[in-house]
Structure 1
């Protein structure tokens, strides 16, 4: 078994709504070119994605929806009919070959998961994956097909395995959650900004699953302006408790980088410190609970130049057993992309002050920890309840 491979092809950039749309695949090129400039891609395997088949897509998506996507991508679906499927909207505009482009991203995530569960690699990273808002019969939130849900269903069918899905995107991982809400063979854990202010408006701590899946849907909705310490404390705590409860065979992480303070679409206040530690903690959990088996995906992130390439490169570092990248960014990379944007950073860490002092910091931290306790209370014993209460800095 080899340690690591990443799944990537320049063809994944064809999943592009428009030049002005927030979901811009230039993020992929920025990340890969940064890793190339660091000289770390030469020693690892790159596997090209392949398109998902209709049979695979049907594990999650309705046949009439798949047909609608195919027709829409070739200009053969009326605008009114398209909008019935969430297509041709402001979030998910039509573009040529929508089905083909979206199916390639799905196939990439299936490939990443299969490489791990077949025993070829211990860890994989599909940078173009993580489109977590797609529903069974409707596009949503920049997502046409739900690559993660399809891949999870395919792997459960093929390997009869248990999968823990961990989502740290600022937006709730709703599409994946609802796809497995009634099932006991997958668990979803989403840590996101509260839906009171942000799309999609779901992901409350009370969404715990149903029927056989009760207790296997976990959510931490963070208060707006949550900072590194509060986020990471909650993340480590709930991730390890989820692993203890569910005992997964595989961990899949969605590494959306839009909880960063510079992201233009969200209201959280993370810095690159979080994006160094999030994948490290995930790898630590995988080493402890799944014999190291972990698949990482990309996801959201709309500050294309300053945030996403640095954040996703730190995912690569953790998966390849490297310490976080630090110091100055490669001069060649900075020079190349400064011609595209004046916002290109020059260091791995953020330059401070990154944002104004948060006046409600103690209240936000206390509220977030109360959310952690509310989530875990039904699933832990009295000893752990005591620890959770004692651990809080507000219990004094």
Structure 2
């Protein structure tokens, strides 16, 4: 069995190691994970991604080296600590069955679960039915998701790998993840005195018109996926103007475009371009430019018949007496490394299930329920015993 107390202790230690992204603080976390694995008698490997930023991998060979591997993907980085905390964000405080800290649910508890599984296998001398592989990646909490890309570039994945990212899902099985494209929209007008506004072309007004139109267009798209729901549009940031009494000549917005099949990221970009082009025709002397930010992230879905999905469902049913709630990563939730790997490789065996709720990720006083960790310990062990 996986040692629940040790998983909790490892989670608290990981929380105490700041691994904020952006930056190179992930190295501290990677160092600790590597040493923890070596302490189990395993031989982890480092895979350079950028200067000071390495992925870490380890393999426990199985009885059948040709069988589909059970692959865990956990990211080392967290978002910045931020403000508004009422508890030490690096303290790993436990109160009323909840463990608090930056990364508590996203995703240092999930990472610790994989360490607990690996240690249980090595301590018991258990040879798993197939290879068990764990990847610990950098840069998941960033637009480019460099760690996941590097795993694919380095050829570390096999076509039949059965992938689980123990990301926060409230212990709900996620077999689909919504696609995502981040876009920067820049509008150019003409500056003038606000008292002579008719001599200028107000870039901020044009931008507001475009944003309202985009909201309407995305809401009206005729796509409603059975798991992922409808496409979503969010204007995340907007900047423009130099002074209150000056008609702004420039305005820039960053847009978050969430998509579902059959849309692909390029479709979302084209929608922005088409709406912007239509709006600026009503403002002579204006122009616009659309550029993309980070990696394209198409929607992905695992097959209901994939080994990882069937195994997770069966184990959950054995342990709880009920099938896990099935869901996709809808508009308020993240695009994980498992999704990026599926997008890059075409995998239909890439899933998410882990402790904590995405609603708590990235928040002040982020927490993970200890009950989720406990269920995760039992679930992973049951699954590997029957793999």
Under a length normalisation based on structure 1, what TM-score does the superposition of the two structures give? 0.28
Larger proportion of strand: 2
Of structures 1 and 2, the larger Rg is shown by 2
Bigger share in helix = 1
Q: Scaled by the length of structure 2, what TM-score is found?
A: 0.28
